[in-house]
Structure 1
Amino acid sequence: MLTLAPICDAQAPIARLNPVAKLAAVAAVTTMALLASDWLTPLLLLAAMLAAVPFTGIRLGPLVHRLKWLWLAAGMVTVVNAVFAAEQTGRLLIAVGPLEISTGALSAGAALGLRACVAATAGVLGFATTDPTDLADALTQQLKAPPRFTIGALSALRLLPLMGAEWQQITTARRARGLEGGRNPLRRARLFASTMFALLVGAIRRAGRLAAAMDARGFDSEIPRTYAREQRMRGADWVLIAAAVLTCVAAMAVSVAYGAFTAFA
């Protein structure tokens, strides 16, 4: 079943840090990966994040489970951009009929795929080590985000596991009635669309009831709110942000020294 609970040891060094610090580190790494259009810079950033995994306390199984489809999609990005490049430059690697792949196209495709890997991995590492309630508290206390927005977003996140359970209930109930797509792709597509519509209708109704309940409990008032759990930026939080920035600078410096760095492509 889908869950938003952290999949890491709560006492791990990175798991204990302020969520805002982790968001800042994720933003720094992702921004550098997106600005650098070469293949070496995102590869170095990805290696640095994988080296930091032991400090997150994330178990290997859940981490692989969350990353496998994202990395597979990044691999598909690499293949598609290498095969369907507008221009095949450099040395020709594969030439089978109309299919041609050159070193230039493969390098450009790998750069795009690695950038996607960096963004996906950074997001997973950041959110997998963060409790949603701690994130909402940190957003309102450190970033001064509107409480109405953060509490509403937290409530929506808490409902995601319920939507996963409802999806299973709907599909099981339809299977019990004999409504299965079998091997017919059109029938499976129609069943998928109707199940999504039923889930959407239920989610909209639940959101309306939740909004009314929150307003009835005073979440819409402009009275300053207090915090049950105080979030603070400590020295270790600033160390994480500085380490992320220094890692980005070091990756760019190595790429420049190697002669591979290019930006804004």
Structure 2
Amino acid sequence: MTDFVADSGRVQRSGPIAPRSALAKLATALLISIPLILTIDVLSAAVALALEIPLLLLAGLRAKEFWLRTAVLWIAAPLSAVTIALYGAASGTVHFEWFVVRISDGSLALAAATAVRVLAIGLPAIVLFVTVDPTDLADDLAQRARLPARFVIGALAGMRMLGLLADDWRALALARRARGVADQGRIRRGIGMAFALFVLAIRRGSSLATAMEARGFGGPGARSWARPSRWDVGDTVLVVIGMLIPAAAITAAVVFGTWNFILGPSVAG
């Protein structure tokens, strides 16, 4: 269940993972993804995907939001599988061959591994990042990861301004149409509007930078924070889960001899 909070512009989620530290979510997504990138076998990806299901259910996303956010993965996974099945490296029995298309046991196994791997890597990354508030992430990066506050706050301000681009584009389109400018030719009109939007973004960025400097955002001394970054046991548990999922997946692949290290020979030989 989600509801919009008018005073802060945030979406409050009821899932137990949603209130966790933004840095913990980022670390968990990376810990799950990086080990799975090193292998391309269906067993490790399937084990990881199965273990990720409770993580996805506890993130606090509604069913509609989940399917909308992850729709690109459900499209990309089968498309990548079809491509690998048709043009992947052939091995074993060849079932169909025509011109550059060759479907074999090896290409089919590789296609299945690729599809499951895309889901196992992409789903937790998308679901965890959806619940991350940019301000919380900036606080964690500056206070806990010790990144330069000037860089972090500047990036946060830029991200907050991204939402204005769509409004500016619509306003420019209406203004140009009211003046009868570039009524014909979509390409010409699009180039002109893109240039105008670029100039407007530069002006707004310069004004924002001046305002931030005037408020002491670039000061040399230690700065204070309106919201201190917090890390509790729940954040540690989430990171540990992010370590255990790929560890279990890789262990299963090695034990059953399906581990296929993409930078070297596989265990299966």
TM-score (norm 2): 0.81
Shift, 1:169, TM fit: 4.0
Distance (whole Å) between structure 2 residues aligned to residue 198 and residue 83 of structure 1? 45
1:118-166 superposed Cα distances (whole Å, 9 cap, x missing partner): 3332221222112111111111111111111111111111112212333
Give SS of 1:264's match.
Answer: coil
Structure showing greater relative contact order (alpha-carbon pairs closer than 8 Å, 6 or more residues apart)? 1
Q: 1:34 aligns with which of 32, 37, 45?
A: 37
Distance (whole Å) between structure 1 residues aligned to residue 109 and residue 183 of structure 2? 44
1:203-245 superposed Cα distances (whole Å, 9 cap, x missing partner): 2332222222211221111121111112222111111111111
One-letter amino acid of the counterpart of residue 243, structure 2: V
Evaluate the alpha carbon distance shift between residue 178 and residue 104 of structure 1 in structure 2; reply closer, same or farther with a 3 A threshold. farther
Match for residue 138 of structure 1? 140
Matches within 5 A, 1:166-177: 166-170=168-172
Distance (whole Å) between structure 2 residues aligned to residue 118 and residue 6 of structure 1? 28
- Asked if structure 2 preserves the Cα contact closer than 8 Å seen for 1:7 and 1:128, the reply is no
Distance (whole Å) between structure 2 residues aligned to residue 111 and residue 7 of structure 1? 35
Q: Could you tell me which runs of 5 or more consecutive residues in structure 1 were left unpaired when the two chains were aligned.
A: 182-186
Give SS of 1:101's match.
Answer: strand
Distance (whole Å) between structure 1 residues aligned to residue 176 and residue 255 of structure 2? 60
Distance (whole Å) between structure 2 residues aligned to residue 144 and residue 18 of structure 1? 15
- Asked if structure 2 preserves the Cα contact closer than 8 Å seen for 1:7 and 1:58, the reply is no
Give SS of 1:100's match.
Answer: strand
Q: Does 1:127 align with 2:129?
A: yes
Match for residue 52 of structure 1? 55
Matches within 5 A, 1:57-68: 57-68=60-71
Aligned length: 255
Match for residue 106 of structure 1? 108
Give SS of 2:71's match.
Answer: helix
One-letter amino acid of the counterpart of residue 125, structure 1: V
Q: Could you tell me which runs of 5 or more consecutive residues in structure 2 were left unpaired when the two chains were aligned.
A: 264-269
Evaluate the alpha carbon distance shift between residue 89 and residue 161 of structure 1 in structure 2; reply closer, same or farther with a 3 A threshold. same
Evaluate the alpha carbon distance shift between residue 169 and residue 124 of structure 1 in structure 2; reply closer, same or farther with a 3 A threshold. farther
Match for residue 88 of structure 1? 90
For structure 1, which segment, 36-45 or 165-174, has the greater mean C-alpha deviation from structure 2 after superposition?
Answer: 165-174
Distance (whole Å) between structure 2 residues aligned to residue 95 and residue 191 of structure 1? 48
Match for residue 267 of structure 2? none
Shift, 1:107, TM fit: 2.7
